[in-house]
Structure 1
Amino acid sequence: MSGVCGELARLGVATVYEASGKRGLIDAPLVQVVPGSKVAGPARTVLCGQDDNLMVHAAMERVQPGDVLVITMPEPAPVALVGELLAVQARARGAAAILVDAAVRDLEELWELGLPVWARWVRVRGAKKEEVGRLDEVVEVGGARISPGDIVVLDADGAVAVEAGRAGEVLEAALKREEREQGLRKRLEAGELSYDLHGLREVVEGG
């Protein structure tokens, strides 16, 4: 699976999303804390209580090398569920990345730490540690349902989730798409127009 994840990360969110049949888009505005990060890995899901990060602390015990921590609440809100010290733990446990459907804080420290992190917001308002939530269950982020073990792909364009059982199929389709686009790029560099190559002239000007 690590080889599949590495290739999906290299191919990137846009290519994987298109190759998957436009499924699994995490349609939310995300801050990419570490510029240039490209990651793919199995989801380790965390459903916290509202404005509460107790379960993020609990989840650290379960993190396996290569996991993408996917941290959610019943409703997204600009409350910091992750800061420097939780990110330090995640990196020590071997997490590949953290996706927070809420806020993070300690931005400069997170950047220096280097663990790839994506979040809806950067805010200093801290979370409670009172409400017991759930670990390793299906969660929803930006309209995408993410099951534990689904492959989450993240880069500068955002994020997409690929169902674990479709990872091989989607990778194959993404590689074929990459090959087609490489051929198309050469033709565009030679001066041809997408207006003609995609048959768009007929749509605009009529056949």
Structure 2
Amino acid sequence: MTVSHEILQILENTAVATISTVLRQKGFNRVALHGPRAVTEGQKRIAGPAFTMRFVPAREDMTTALAVNGPTSPRAVLEKIPAGAVVVVDAMGLRSAGVFGDIISARMQMRGVAGLVTDGAIRDLVGMKKLEWPIWADGTTAPPSPSEFFCADTEVAVACGGVTIFPGDIVVADDDGAIVVPAAMAEAVATEAYEKDRFEEWVYDQVKGGALLDGLYPPNDATKERYAKEKQ
């Protein structure tokens, strides 16, 4: 299912914490990824369809040349990733090698890929930070990917950070972490989450101004009416 650019823009402008609350209210509790976190604090929030990559542990008969230049290698695959996609790498939570370094990431950035989310580690941290390309990973390390990993599949269902992610699911990530929104629910979640985000910003300003929480959060009818008037 294709999610419109307008819906993706709404999700990109909505806090992941708010999206998480809306998904929970809809009965989805296993959608927040455990492990991936923003490599650089304050990096741009992203929202885009998942392009999935499934890494498996390297084995002796998987030659270095195949891992580096084979048909499922990152070098080959990255040229097929659509602009605006979020690359989701299932690294099984292993941090003994970096899934990508700065050069592979620079190429993805130049192709318009929105960002990277992985439950593994990255390498070349200094170069990665210079890119200012949004990355969520579970740490950093020095060894290169072929020393530990082999990319077995792309565009298949993966388990990243303990969450099932299908190709085309919408991944949203910010300083609070990364979350997956099933594509079929993206429009409904975006609409509710965006409005909830705006309301909570208003409530935050009220509290900072000295307001009490009783009747404000959660709102009673009087608060809802006042918010509606001020929003207009």
TM-score by length of 1: 0.85
Measured at CA, do residues 35 and 190 of structure 1 come closer, stay the same or move farther in structure 2, by a change above 3 Å? Answer: closer
Is residue 37 of structure 1 aligned with residue 8 of structure 2? no
Cα distance between partner residues in 2 of 1:132 and 1:8: 30
What's 1:26 paired with? 33
The secondary structure found in structure 2 opposite 1:77 is coil
Specify the alignment match of 2:62 in structure 1: none
- How does 1:1-207 map onto structure 2 within 5 Å? 1-21=4-24, 23=29, 24-33=31-40, 35-50=42-57, 54=68, 55-128=73-146, 131=150, 133-194=152-213, 197-198=216-217
Alpha-carbon RMSD: 2.3
Deviations 1:99-152 (A, max 9, x none): 122111111111111211111011102221774501101111222111101111
Residue 78 of structure 1 aligns to a residue whose secondary structure is coil
Unaligned runs of 5+ in 2: 60-66, 219-232
Q: 2:187 is matched by which residue type in structure 1?
A: G
**124-133 vs 151-160, which deviates more?**
124-133
How many angstroms does 1:3 deviate by?
2.1
Is contact 1:32-1:155 (8 Å) kept? Answer: no
Moved more, 157-166 or 19-28: 19-28
Rounded to whole Å, the distance in 2 between the matches of 1:114 and 1:3 is: 24
| Structure 1 position 196, deviation (Å) | 6.1
Please give the TM-score of this superposition, normalised by the length of structure 2. 0.77
Q: Percent identity?
A: 26
The 1-side partners of 2:205 and 2:41 are apart by 31
